[in-house]
Amino acid sequence: MKVEEERMKNERETEGVFEPKIVGFLCYWCSYTAADLAGVSRMKYPPNLRVMRVMCSSRVDPVFIIKALLDGADGVLVAGCHPGDCHYQKGNYYARRKIALTKRLLESLGLEPERVRLSWIAASEGPRFAEVAKEFTERIRQLGPNPAKGALFL
Amino acid sequence: MAKVVEIPEGLEAFLISLLEKGIVSGLVVLKYLEESSKASYALVPAGGDTEGLAPLFPFMPANAGKVLSRLTLEGPFPNPIAVVVRPCEFRAFVELVKLEQGHMENLLIIGLECGGVYPLGKMVKENVGDFIGAYYEALKKGEIVPDIRPVCQGCDLFQPVGADIVVSVVGRGVPQLAFLTEKGLDAAEKLGLELKEGEVFAPLSQALLEARRERKGQIAEEIKGEVKGIEGLERVFGKCIGCHCCSHVCPICYCKDCFFESATFDYEPISYTERLERKGTLRVPMDTVLFHLGRMTHMATSCVGCGMCEDACPVGIPVSQIFKFIGSDLQELFGYVPGRSLQEELPLTTYRLEEFSEVEE
Ligand code: FES
């Protein structure tokens, strides 16, 4: 990708356009492969996503998400295999509960649950991956920078 | 309606008779220390020192759920033991048993209808004789006792669930026992008690329940306003000194190796310098707020709102009120009430095939 896009992004940033930083936890067995596929198929999607590979969506402890948000990430994407397709049979069902919990926690604390997104993206769904990345980046751009970014005493 | 009996000679006498008649081989109960203003949980065997039992003393030096977990972690008691517990203590124990941190077998559960407990600091620093009378007076009238732990003031689960024997005190001059299970009835029979039919709780217990519910709502509103948003988190948790006492006294936080005390949070120097570039000033050690929010995600679905954490906090953060408020939100999400039943699965160790479609995007 990405040298060119990265350069454009940096340019936009220096022009004062808000470029969200998004942390993406992608399941090794599906969504990570989908991201790869999107890459090799030269699909266009915004470069705002910092990808971390996890062995299953259920590996994402809500603490990881909160850590990212408190440290200033503007959004967190968790992506895994479609229900029924988890490599470990039921990991993604647990993941769904953890995300539901995390979002409710953020809501109760008056933070922004919209900054967290859970999506199912199969290994073959390169285009869907690009779509999710685009949509989510757009949503976060609308939301604006994460207010935790400037906080000193977190 | 249940089988009940009044005990004018007091709960202490009843407990001692359980030991003397050989119905249980020991008691787990609060016992006064040298002066009768402090107490500790004690395991009292048959023939042991039953001087100064304090089953109703409104003091919680440890959540008894945690005490029972320590006692039964490696296996159940070989012989029957009677335990006197407040509802939140028993509910904590139920959660711990589900977490494989204790055994329920061979316990005769004597559940107190709970009027609340005083903050530890108050009990230790002030003269208990000055206010303990008012405690029992308020209970008799079915009122919220002033100055008890704030979470107790807003606790609407003060009527025991799952106990073999319930001790009802609210709205009564004389405490009453209700025998609710086979085990409980068996004990009553062996003691030769003359049981009659009666309500488990006095009518004024209902009045207290309503008052407590109202207070609970008020606390939730206040807390919600206080911890709102990033500024709220900074304001409320900003003074945290990171001692982690709240988690050490928490009955639900049973992990010996807490994630938040692990090397995960020892960072490479480079990670500090990178942060510095972004932030200008960096609070060290980092992650104080993360600790609290992370702990919430780990244990708040099982939080019984006992108030130990808040009492242990040296800088006066209303930890327990916050966790209870957040906890009930999270518990509601899964339709879960911690400690309600041993059969109900912990929310994060189970799932339904179809649920929470609103978080799938
Ligand atoms: S292996 Fe992909 S979600 Fe579990």
Task: Give the model confidence (pLDDT) of B263-304 as tens digits.
Answer: 988 889 898 888 888 777 888 888 889 999 999 999 999 999
Cβ-based contacts of A118 with chain B (< 8 Å)? 359-361
Short-list A127, A128, A105, CA closest to A116: A105
Q: Chain A interface residues facing chain B, Cβ-Cβ under 8 Å?
A: 61-63, 66-67, 70-72, 83, 90, 93-94, 96-105, 108-111, 117-120, 132, 147-154
pLDDT of residue A5: 62
* A151 part of a folded domain: no
pLDDT of residue A1: 45
If you ran DSSP here, which 8-state letter would residue B25 be given?
S
Cα separation, B176 vs B165, whole angstroms: 10
Average pLDDT over residues A65-71: 94
Q: Which of B287, B290, B359 sits opposite A118 (nearest CB)?
A: B359
DSSP secondary structure letters along B328-339: HHHHHHTT--TT
**With the CA atoms of B104, B108, B113 and B118 taken in that order, what torsion angle do they form, in degrees rounded to the nearest 10?**
-70
Kindly report, residue by residue over B197-224, the tens digit of the pLDDT: 999 999 999 999 999 999 999 999 999 8
The mean of the pLDDT values for chain B is 94
Cα separation, A60 vs A25, whole angstroms: 7
Cα separation, B329 vs B253, whole angstroms: 19
Which residue of chain B has the CA closest to A95?
B348
Give the A:B interface size as CB pairs under 8 Å.
Answer: 115
Asked if pLDDT for residue B325 goes beyond 60, the answer is yes
Q: A60 CB contacts (<8 Å, ≥6 apart)?
A: A25, A54, A78, A95, A98
pLDDT of residue A6: 61
How many Å lie between the centroid of ligand 1 and the Cα of residue B101? 29
Cross-strand pairs, B40: B31
* A137 part of a folded domain: yes
DSSP secondary structure letters along A87-123: TTSSHHHHHHHHHHHHHHHHHHTTS-GGGEEEEE--T
Which residue of chain B has the CA closest to A77?
B361
Tokens of A88: 């470990």
* A60 part of a folded domain: yes
Whether B232 and A118 lie within 8 Å, measured CB to CB: no
* A8 part of a folded domain: no
Which residue of chain B has the CA closest to A131?
B361
pLDDT of residue B310: 96
Asked if pLDDT for residue A15 goes beyond 80, the answer is no
Average pLDDT over residues B53-65: 95
Domain boundaries, chain B: 2-218, 225-349
φ and ψ of A146, to 5 deg: -65, 120
Amino acid, res. B189? E
Short-list B62, B72, B73, B77, CA closest to B26: B77
Asked if pLDDT for residue A54 goes beyond 70, the answer is yes
Average pLDDT over residues B55-67: 96
Instruction: Name the residue range of residue A111's domain.
Output: 21-143
The mean of the pLDDT values for chain A is 90
CB-based burial of residue A116 (10 Å sphere; 0-12 exposed, 13-18 middle, 19+ buried)? Answer: buried
Asked if pLDDT for residue B316 goes beyond 60, the answer is yes
Average pLDDT over residues A90-101: 96
CB B83 within 8 A of CB B164: no
The best mutation among A26, A29, A119 to test binding of ligand 1, ranked by most ligand atoms within 8 Å of the C-beta, falls on A29
Which residue of chain B has the CA closest to A118?
B360
**Its pTM surpasses 0.90:** yes
Asked if pLDDT for residue A2 goes beyond 60, the answer is no
Cross-strand pairs, A118: A78, B360
* A83 part of a folded domain: yes
pLDDT band, very low/low/confident/very high, at B23 (cuts 50, 70, 90): very high
* A111 part of a folded domain: yes
pLDDT band, very low/low/confident/very high, at A13 (cuts 50, 70, 90): low
pLDDT band, very low/low/confident/very high, at B76 (cuts 50, 70, 90): very high
Residues with CB under 6 A from ligand 1: A 27, 29-30, 56-58, 80-81, 86-88, 91-92
Kindly report, residue by residue over B126-173, the tens digit of the pLDDT: 888 899 999 999 999 999 999 999 999 999 999 999 999 999 999 999
Give the count of beta carbons closer than 10 Å to the beta carbon of residue A135.
15
Cβ-based contacts of A109 with chain B (< 8 Å)? 227-229, 232-233, 293, 326
Distance from CA of B361 to the nearest CA of A (A): 5
pLDDT of residue B8: 93
Asked if pLDDT for residue A98 goes beyond 70, the answer is yes
Kindly report, residue by residue over B335-358, the tens digit of the pLDDT: 999 999 999 999 999 999 999 999
- The least confident of A73-87, B35-49, B76-90 is B35-49
Q: How many domains does chain A have?
A: 1
Q: Chain B interface residues facing chain A, Cβ-Cβ under 8 Å?
A: 224, 227-230, 232-234, 238, 259, 275, 278-283, 287-290, 293-294, 296-298, 300-301, 325-326, 329-330, 333-334, 347-348, 351-353, 355-356, 359-361
Average pLDDT over residues B325-341: 95
Q: What is the ipTM of this complex?
A: 0.90
CB A26 within 8 A of CB A59: no
Q: Which of A104, A110, A111 sits opposite B330 (nearest CB)?
A: A104
Does residue B29 sit in helix, strand or coil? strand
